[in-house]
Amino acid sequence: MPSGTPFITEKYSTAVLTAVRVLCGLLFVQHGAEKLWGFAGGRMDYNFAALRAWAGPIEVVGGILIALGFCTRTTAFILCGEMAVAYFKTWAPRGLLPIQNGGEEAVQFCYLFLWLVTMGAGAWSIDRWLGGNKAAVTSRLSSWEGRARSILRVIYGFLFLLHGIRLAFGVLPALAGRRGAGPMPLDQLPAFMGYGEIIAGALLIAGAFTAPVALFAAVVAFAAYVHSIAGGLVWPIRGGGNETLLYTLVFLCLWVKRGGQWSFDSLKGRRNRKLASAATG
């Protein structure tokens, strides 16, 4: 499997990528559920003259479709747009950086959905069972997957690096966020872990040594989530749990799929192949 690590078989690679899609959808459903039914203490909103009220049904239905792998590309495109609108309408005016203005999760979902537009639902999905991966437009989108994954890698690497800077040096304080939310799980790790996050984030931005670095970052993010559970976090949507789990999922994806077309690893691989071809020619 050229795009995966040598330690992962095709079967387990498919399982990891399916888990990323399913859990992404379920995490997203929480946002719709809090708007429609007050899930996890959220604020209900039935004023359908406002954008927020319409977001509830879109997020519940969209999240379920993503989890099932049904109409995945179309759904992901719509949800990507919704997250972009939410970020620039609600969060961007409150500060420059996503980890400060409260819009970090919107950015995470936005680029993850953008990647799913190109990736599709994968082998274990309703789309695949219905044979929905044969259209010409689907083939074109699939050809862009490596580029979309590169963008996803850079965005997540940058956000992870910012958390490392905050943790190591005590800067970049939160300027806005969810009401009553405390420090995010990534910000409650020992301060020395911040240096590891900075190095990992920088390497991910460059796409260098992507597989091992992404695995390290996934372990760090999941450890932060487990620590938050011990601290009393019940639902991922509260206390930064969603953000931390999204980091874990995307970093596992990068461990399996690597950094994409626009990465140092990819450039190095192409150079080595050219040298090998020249040597044998």
> Where exactly are the structural domains of the chain?
10-276
What's the confidence (pLDDT) of residue 41? 84
Does residue 104 contact residue 98 with C-beta atoms inside 8 Å? yes
> DSSP assignment, residue 9?
-
Residues 91, 178, 69: CA angle, nearest 5 degrees: 75
Please report where in the chains the tokens 């695995």 appear, as a residue: 215
Largest CA distance in the chain: 69
pTM of the complete model: 0.91
What's the confidence (pLDDT) of residue 231? 82
Mean pLDDT for back-to-back runs of 10 residues, the chain (281 residues): 49 88 97 91 74 84 98 97 95 95 97 97 92 74 95 98 97 81 87 97 97 97 94 88 97 94 87 62 60
Question: Side chain identity at 138, as an amino acid letter?
Answer: T
